[in-house]
Structure 1
Amino acid sequence: MNSQTLFVDADSCPVIKEIVEIASKFSIEAVFVASYAHMKNDLQGQNWVFVDSHKEAVDLYLMNHVKKGDFAVTQDIGLASTLIAKGVYAISPRGNLFEEKDIQTALDLRYLSARARRQGSYGKGPKPFTEKDREKFIKELSMLLSNFKICSRNHN
């Protein structure tokens, strides 16, 4: 059986502790990828990869290292769309599973928001990350991994 990995776009990820716990519970390797600009002293004994600080370095690392059937945690819609196309299950830190049927709409909204910002219209920005978001993430990632584990057990 080929083993899956859980890749994390770890620059400013608010659920690292939760990912460590869930990955351990499901015996899946978690790889946290961050730029040197976000380097931490306490790596919690986890597998961290640090890349250059340029804008797309984390995305490029992830795109070059994931394989079909892997999992990824990212809040970057553009990265999620690329990962989905490679057969990776992508979920946001707020617990929203990125799905092929919804990704084009999300990309279109991101484009329109960026265009409005360039024209001087500044909205409120993203909503603050809440405990409810954290709970949804824990529930959704656990469900995603347990569904996969059940499916792989049935195929063995």
Structure 2
Amino acid sequence: MIFVDADACPVKNEVTSIASERNEKVLFVASHNHRPGLIPEDEQWTFVDPVAEASDMYILNHIKSGDILITQDIGLASLALQKGAFVLSPNGKIYREDQMDMALQFRYWARKERERGNFGKGPKAFGNADRHHFLSSLRKILSKYDDLD
């Protein structure tokens, strides 16, 4: 199963396309506030309350070892990795458990800096190179996923 933290995910179409090619099930999880206008019949969506972390909690309560998660949320990624899931970001970064301590530390430092009023430039705009890297990474994970069957 592929879980997508869908509130702000820029690669929903790519996930649907690859999953369809490979006959994989996908579940998009989003808050009611991020409900898309028209949901295609071939997509499965679950909507949760529009409170902080509701999507994350739903995903963590349903994901299991061997599942795939697509998220931009480092905290959610860290917890899903501990459950044995494969995790990647929409820009194609494949998360590994041995990287999580440092990633969480950087997130903490960045939050502290923002609290002090120091705002960086923010992330670069999502582009075609990110989209292609994502597609490559998802295919790589799915090939490993096939080996588990």
Length-normalised TM-score, structure 1: 0.92
The answer for the alignment partner of 1:119 in structure 2 is: 116
Which runs of 5 or more structure 1 residues have no equivalent in the other structure? none
Q: Which amino acid in 2 is paired with 1:62?
A: I
SS of equivalent to 2:45: strand
The answer for the alignment partner of 1:96 in structure 2 is: 93
Match of residue 55, structure 2, among 39, 54, 58: 58
Deviation at 1:97, TM superposition (A): 0.6
**Structure 1 position 36 matched with structure 2 position 32:** yes
**Structure 1 position 26 matched with structure 2 position 22:** yes
CA distance in 2, matches of 1:95, 1:26: 18
Q: Which amino acid in 2 is paired with 1:61?
A: Y
Count of aligned pairs between the two proteins: 148
Contact 1:7 1:66 (C-alpha < 8 Å) held by counterparts: yes
Contact 1:95 1:138 (C-alpha < 8 Å) held by counterparts: yes
Contact 1:26 1:146 (C-alpha < 8 Å) held by counterparts: no
The answer for the alignment partner of 1:145 in structure 2 is: 142
CA RMSD of aligned residues (A): 0.9
Deviation at 1:44, TM superposition (A): 2.3
Contact 1:95 1:137 (C-alpha < 8 Å) held by counterparts: yes
Contact 1:23 1:29 (C-alpha < 8 Å) held by counterparts: yes
SS of equivalent to 1:90: strand
CA distance in 2, matches of 1:91, 1:99: 9
**Structure 1 position 8 matched with structure 2 position 4:** yes
**1:67-82 to 2 correspondence within 5 Å?**
67-82=64-79
Which runs of 5 or more structure 2 residues have no equivalent in the other structure? none
SS of equivalent to 1:129: coil
Deviation at 1:147, TM superposition (A): 2.1
CA distance in 2, matches of 1:30, 1:129: 22
Deviation at 1:105, TM superposition (A): 0.8
SS of equivalent to 1:34: strand
Deviation at 1:92, TM superposition (A): 0.2
Contact 2:66 2:145 (C-alpha < 8 Å) held by counterparts: no
Deviation at 1:65, TM superposition (A): 0.5
- Structure 1 segments of 4+ aligned residues over 3 angstroms from their partners: none
Render the CA deviation track for 1:13-67: whole Å, top value 9, x for unaligned.
0000000001111211000000000001222220000000001100000000001
CA distance in 1, matches of 2:94, 2:119: 27
